[in-house]
Structure 1
């Protein structure tokens, strides 16, 4: 019976170590999204703790300060989980091989090797070999931490450059109208293709980084009071408006930008809300204010010299249909990340807490 228990302990220990390697390769090394229960558990705990503290707060600036702790807390929880998994695995192996006959001694010997402190090493050859291997794993976790954390920070900084660009030109509440007005003032409205190509790269960056590492979606904006979700909504509304109201030959870049953006936000919304039903994107309700004010936006496009299509009613229907493709994604992302968005995004706002041209400041 004892032999069976020892063999089972060794096999369980080996399985735990294999599970560790599988987890860390999925989370850190594979350049595509692979679901992992350790990453998911650490992310769920970090988000739950911070959001529990943040939900009672009505000031988004205070919420931002708390959300900035989601990434550090996630990393601490993930690393602690990996260390505990490896330490438990080698504890089982040491006990199962008889290198350390007592559980307590096996656990401390495993911790000694994993932490590279070396205060307790089994005297046998097998114990020393296991200690060397376990110490290498401990060093690898530390090296990966210092190697990939800067990559996470770089992804956030790249995301925030365009968010800061948008808010600096549209004020604290970016909308379709404010974005188009800004392009007109800067002389970019006649050659807007380059603008949408830049935003296409931004959406591709979200798809390549935030979908692989969903924890990045919870990291708040660097600039106080801004939201990358709100910025994405304003850009998608603007590209949808142009795609619906202008001839196809004038909207190729806007159309591609919109398609990439819709795909990126939907993928991320599903990742953050895995239980959302598949038919959630078939919802087609539209804010009545959006319909009422569409005529103003359509007329404004003509005033600034853009060649709009003659049938305004068809343009309105097309815009509403295009907007429905991503409205659910925007709502889900805003809800999941506690990032406020202005409804219905496309409209000018009757009140502003700050001047429209207020420059965003660092949080």
Structure 2
């Protein structure tokens, strides 16, 4: 009976970890692995504990930067350690080997060292399976990294390009203000078209490889979520203040953005209202809205509606994405930015921000 229990336990461990490997590395669709999620949370907690005790956004960013890469390494180690235990249980179930000898036999096979080998046919079968498992898992992980970092690079290229258009950290009203300043408002549709495609790519990559959500930008004042939020706010402001201007690309970019956030929320098990009412409350206040409008007015942004008239329209758009954006910004400790909600702990940005562009005199 004991050997039967050992065999069942070993089979459950091996098959369960194989399922985790397949869900994480092989299946090209959002599939949640409880094992991978637990390992990543355990890696994240001590870093988050330390980050919560800092009062600088730059320090917090440096503390949290290694979390995602370290989680990938620890996931691989945890898989191999679990396979070692699972195969050792199977070795012990079909032989007279003790705990130490079974671990040695399983480790010799799993890591293809070959210094230990059994004489029984049943052991040889398990040894062969273990010897195949180690290289397969390591090979899959090695192949996984280029795809991961390629998706990261694609994401960061657009985030970096947005810095000149939206400041550091980015802000929706600043996008419209800067385009108005250089009289390029007609080119805004190209920006929204690019970010519609960017949102679709982000939705695919960050739900297939959820660890990408925790990957941070190379600078503390950059963040993929804050960049997306600023573009969505710019689109909502455009639609609210300028009903007669071109709207198709702007609406599509805005919709792609909140669909992307909802896909990420689904992959993380975050609940949200799929059909909010246009008059549902916002965390963004009317006074905050007026501050953004003042920045746009200062740079000569043309408005067909007054702020009072535009506010209900802006609310009707923002209610679709504000709660999710604020929740994700808090979860990943995104850089503090206007119109992006609270963080886990109060922090300040000590790095000088992008200077405010001013119109030339004369």
Same fold (TM over 0.5): yes
Q: Give the aligned partner of residue 285 of structure 2.
A: 287
Q: Give the aligned partner of residue 26 of structure 2.
A: 29
Q: Could you tell me how far 1:10 is from its partner in structure 2? A: 1.8
Q: Give the Cα–Cα distance (whole angstroms) in 2 for the partners of residues 187 and 142 of structure 1.
A: 53
SS in structure 2 of the partner of residue 210 of structure 1:
helix
Q: Could you tell me how far 1:253 is from its partner in structure 2? A: 0.6
Change in Cα spacing, 1:33 to 1:263, as seen in structure 2 (3 Å) is: same
Q: Give the Cα–Cα distance (whole angstroms) in 1 for the partners of residues 190 and 286 of structure 2.
A: 32
Alignment pair present for 1:190 and 2:186: yes
Q: Give the Cα–Cα distance (whole angstroms) in 2 for the partners of residues 84 and 331 of structure 1.
A: 37
User: Please, which of 11, 15, 20 is the counterpart of residue 14 of structure 1?
Assistant: 11
Single out whichever of 248-257 and 33-42 deviates more from structure 2. Answer: 248-257
Q: Could you tell me how far 1:28 is from its partner in structure 2? A: 0.9
SS in structure 2 of the partner of residue 198 of structure 1:
helix
Instruction: Report if aligned partners of 2:223, 2:335 keep a CA contact under 8 Å in 1.
Output: yes
Instruction: Report if aligned partners of 1:169, 1:357 keep a CA contact under 8 Å in 2.
Output: no
Q: Give the aligned partner of residue 175 of structure 1.
A: 171
Q: Between Structure 1 and Structure 2, how many residues are aligned?
A: 346
Alignment pair present for 1:152 and 2:148: yes
Q: Give the aligned partner of residue 320 of structure 2.
A: 325
Q: Could you tell me how far 1:64 is from its partner in structure 2? A: 2.0
TM-score norm. by structure 2 comes to 0.86
SS in structure 2 of the partner of residue 317 of structure 1:
helix
Alignment pair present for 1:123 and 2:122: no
Q: Give the aligned partner of residue 356 of structure 1.
A: 355
Q: Give the aligned partner of residue 137 of structure 1.
A: 133
Q: Give the aligned partner of residue 68 of structure 1.
A: 65
Q: Could you tell me how far 1:187 is from its partner in structure 2? A: 5.1
Instruction: Report if aligned partners of 1:6, 1:96 keep a CA contact under 8 Å in 2.
Output: yes
Q: Could you tell me how far 1:173 is from its partner in structure 2? A: 3.0
Q: Could you tell me how far 1:249 is from its partner in structure 2? A: 6.4
Single out whichever of 113-122 and 124-133 deviates more from structure 2. Answer: 124-133
Q: Give the aligned partner of residue 221 of structure 2.
A: 225
Single out whichever of 214-223 and 311-320 deviates more from structure 2. Answer: 311-320
CA RMSD of aligned residues (A): 2.8
SS in structure 1 of the partner of residue 337 of structure 2:
coil
Instruction: Report if aligned partners of 1:287, 1:344 keep a CA contact under 8 Å in 2.
Output: no
Q: Give the aligned partner of residue 311 of structure 2.
A: 316
Q: Give the Cα–Cα distance (whole angstroms) in 1 for the partners of residues 183 and 291 of structure 2.
A: 25
Q: Could you tell me how far 1:247 is from its partner in structure 2? A: 3.0
TM-superposition CA deviations, 1:134-166 (whole Å, max 9, x none): 111000111112111121111111111111111
Change in Cα spacing, 1:118 to 1:267, as seen in structure 2 (3 Å) is: same
Instruction: Report if aligned partners of 2:169, 2:335 keep a CA contact under 8 Å in 1.
Output: no
Change in Cα spacing, 1:284 to 1:79, as seen in structure 2 (3 Å) is: same
Q: Give the Cα–Cα distance (whole angstroms) in 2 for the partners of residues 278 and 345 of structure 1.
A: 19
User: Mapping of 1:26-105 within 5 angstroms?
Assistant: 26-98=23-95, 100-105=96-101
Single out whichever of 78-87 and 175-184 deviates more from structure 2. Answer: 175-184
Q: Could you tell me how far 1:25 is from its partner in structure 2? A: 0.8
Q: Give the Cα–Cα distance (whole angstroms) in 2 for the partners of residues 270 and 63 of structure 1.
A: 27
Q: Give the aligned partner of residue 108 of structure 2.
A: 112
Q: Could you tell me how far 1:313 is from its partner in structure 2? A: 4.1
Gaps of 5+ in 1: 359-363
SS in structure 1 of the partner of residue 100 of structure 2:
helix
Change in Cα spacing, 1:8 to 1:352, as seen in structure 2 (3 Å) is: closer
Q: Could you tell me how far 1:256 is from its partner in structure 2? A: 0.6
